[in-house]
Structure 1
């Protein structure tokens, strides 16, 4: 005796595109914001001096960066600034965030008198935790 099997016809499931479009839109906005912020934090390229004793900080929050190129010119980000502008920016930043730590990035060809001038401005602004950046060998 043969058994008859009936196939159950299932309706095709529709693929919902609206949630997919929403997700793609959110990812697009996210990456646009992140790329804009990455450009804002960009700093002038310098060749840092090498050190055997350098340590890479684990906590990079609450950092301000001042860069000094080989000619002794100071930069905040990629913007060239004077000593008075550095002091004003640091004082403003320290008022908003008293835990701010300043990283001084100086080219290995920079004379010490130019680095000392920037360190003096940082001290005059009230930044007492200043970190001198070096490249780990």
Structure 2
């Protein structure tokens, strides 16, 4: 018996539909990543300038805490009470030891509000804390 005559030999060509699916998935991923990356800048906080300030590379797991000029504390554009912030940072510190915390305080915010956030970080044993600033005018980034 000759079975080879019944087997069709079609050449497999370039499949365009799976390629389009992958492109759309990548597009959605990058759109969502852009939205999440800009959440911390949504509040309109004007961070202070610093001559020695440099733009740091975003670190994995970075927690950004915003303090506005009236002293309200925000994470991801959600207002946090001091108690809620402490419990949230304690959970983060228990799960991930070296996650950095960046404090973006408005240049007109009260010093006490920033010290409250620093005290909370110390109580929950987070020691990788940085302050956000922008370069002074006339100084290149």
Does 2:28 correspond to 1:22? no
Q: 1:46-102: per-residue Cα shift (whole Å, max 9, x none)?
A: 111000011222352231111001111000111110111111111111222111111
Local SS of the residue matching 2:117: helix
Q: Which residue of 1 aligns with 2:70?
A: 71
Could you tell me which of 19, 30, 34 is aligned with 1:38?
Answer: 34
In structure 1, stretches of 5+ residues that fail to align are 1-15
Answer whether contact 2:62 2:102 (CA < 8 A) is retained. yes
Q: Which moved more, 1:50-59 or 1:115-124?
A: 50-59
- For residues 83 and 70 of structure 2, what CA distance do their matches in structure 1 show? 18
* CA RMSD in angstroms, aligned pairs only: 2.0
> What's the TM-score once normalised by structure 1's chain length?
0.79
- For residues 58 and 73 of structure 2, what CA distance do their matches in structure 1 show? 25
Local SS of the residue matching 1:80: strand
Q: For this pair of structures, how many residues does the alignment match? A: 122
Q: Could you list the runs of 4 or more consecutive aligned residues of structure 1 that deviate by over 6 angstroms after TM superposition? A: none
- For residues 75 and 49 of structure 2, what CA distance do their matches in structure 1 show? 22
Local SS of the residue matching 1:71: coil
- For residues 23 and 80 of structure 1, what CA distance do their matches in structure 2 show? 42
In structure 2, stretches of 5+ residues that fail to align are 1-11, 137-141
Q: Which residue of 2 aligns with 1:135?
A: 134
Matches within 5 A, 1:1-137: 19-41=15-37, 42-43=39-40, 44-58=43-57, 60-137=59-136
